[in-house]
Structure 1
Amino acid sequence: MAPYEARVRIVEPGQPYDVGLLDPALVADEWEAPRQRPHVAISSDQSPREVLRARQWGVLDFVRSDVDVAELVSRIENVHRRSKNPAKRSGEAIDGAFLTPREAEIVSLVCRGKSNAEIATLLEVSPNSIKSLIRRAYRKMGVTSRAQAVGWGLARGY
């Protein structure tokens, strides 16, 4: 992290921080993230279950543990910027979109090649609901096609 010390710094536990970094595998299920602080999850487990678990703690971004340091620093800075802008934090069209747990689940299924009809059946909702959720997720991700959505999702471990 030395080349990035002007942009990020590591603090000791219990010290104030702007953005927290956590590995969901090392966090107890009953842990509650401080809601006043945004977090980035870093993990080799990118399963939809783990992503959703982290999102329930208010994690704003989820990166693979093999991410290069430059990308990690960039993602931390993006979360920091988003946390200062409530409209962006809630997920309006921005880079590194903040998806709701349901949108994240649907994006992960799209990335696995599931059709809208298959997703609707799996999640026990109407195909129209799936279409609406997908359109909303596309806007947040800044994509306009299913292929772009898959590329976006795979690049972020969905």
Structure 2
Amino acid sequence: MNTLRVALVNDYEVVARGVMGMLRSYQNRVRVVELDLNKQVGESVDIALYDTFAATQEERVAVRELVVNPLVDLAVVYSWNLDQAHVDAALANGAGGYISKGLSASRLVAALEEIYTGGERIHLGGNGTPTVVVGDWPGREEGLTEREAEILALITQGLSNAEIAERTHLSINSIKTYIRTCYRSIGANSRTNAVLWGIEHGFRPDRVRIAHPEPSLGGGEVRARA
């Protein structure tokens, strides 16, 4: 099959670039042509891969926007949330596929190809499949896990614990646990301290479209803000 043209959609450049880094060894099969950070996809692509990390809008809204974008052939959700009801809801909202963030790079590429060619739409791994820690996220260098970083990003955006629980489909108790471990990692003793830390360390969402992010794709990186 031809090389898939993919746009990576997320609110944080470091997260989108982390996924792009995963795919770098597979450019003969998957080519990342655009990073969209709080921007609509602006170039014709086979797949818009929507990473749900700390999304600034509800997932169903984001998926619908991608589905109705005439430049996007298929919208695929990329998430840690593997609850079947949640997966079914994403597909009902028009997503062409659903992929676990626990898959290795090679399995992610294979899943994208299978979804695009009309094969299995849901790729969650399986029993005994180890969680693969890949990609990047804000705060990783400070020892934050991706889940802790996601919770801190949502706190930095001003969401309450109840709103975070609804957005991430985690229990309130789980949210409180992640907040406690996050606070220990960054040395915060209050929500205000955590927000200030988040602002200083890249936890505010980006808002930019980056076309041809790989130098080999266009002679250099081009940033487009339209």
Q: TM-score range by the shorter chain?
A: 0.3 to 0.5
Larger Rg: 1 or 2? 2
Q: Greater helix percent: which structure?
A: 1
Give the TM-score of the pair, scaled to structure 1. 0.48
Give the TM-score of the pair, scaled to structure 2. 0.35
Q: Greater strand percent: which structure?
A: 2
